[in-house]
Structure 1
Amino acid sequence: MKEYRKNVAAIIINREHKIWLGERADKMAWGFPQGGIDKGELPEAALYREMMEELATNEFELIAQYPGTLKYDFPADMEFPTWTYAGQEQYYFLIKLRDTAKIDFNSHPEEIEFLTYKFLSLDEIRQIDFDFKDKVYKKALDYFEPFIIKGEN
Structure 2
Amino acid sequence: MTRDLSLYRPNVGVVLFNRDGRVWLGHRVNTPGPWRWQFPQGGVDEGEDLETAARRELFEETGVRSVEYLDRTPDWIAYDFPPDLGGPRAKWGHKGQKQVWFAYRFTGEDAEVDLQAHGEQEFDAWRWARLDETPGLIVPFKRGVYEQVLSAFARFAA
TM-score band by shorter chain is 0.7 to 0.9
> After TM superposition, where is structure 1 displaced by more than 3 Å over at least 4 residues in a row?
126-130
Range with bigger deviation, 51-60 or 121-130: 121-130
Unpaired runs of at least 5, structure 1:
none
Question: Superposed, which structure 2 residues align to 1:66-81 within 5 Å?
Answer: 66-81=73-88
| Superposition deviation, residue 51 in structure 1 | 1.4
1:108 aligns with 118
**Deviation per residue, 1:27-73 (Å, 9 max, x gap):** 24210100100000010010111112111221111111011110001
**Matched length:** 148
Unpaired runs of at least 5, structure 2:
none
Task: State TM-score, norm by structure 1.
Answer: 0.88
Question: Superposed, which structure 2 residues align to 1:92-131 within 5 Å?
Answer: 92-100=101-109, 102-109=112-119, 111-128=120-137, 130-131=139-140
Question: Superposed, which structure 2 residues align to 1:1-153 within 5 Å?
Answer: 3-28=7-32, 29-81=36-88, 82-100=91-109, 102-109=112-119, 111-128=120-137, 130-149=139-158
Structure with more helix by fraction: 2
Name the % identity. Answer: 36
| Superposition deviation, residue 126 in structure 1 | 4.7
Task: State TM-score, norm by structure 2.
Answer: 0.85
CA distance in structure 2 between the aligned counterparts of 1:41 and 1:77, rounded to whole angstroms: 30
CA distance in structure 1 between the aligned counterparts of 2:118 and 2:104, rounded to whole angstroms: 22
The Cα RMSD (Å) is 1.7
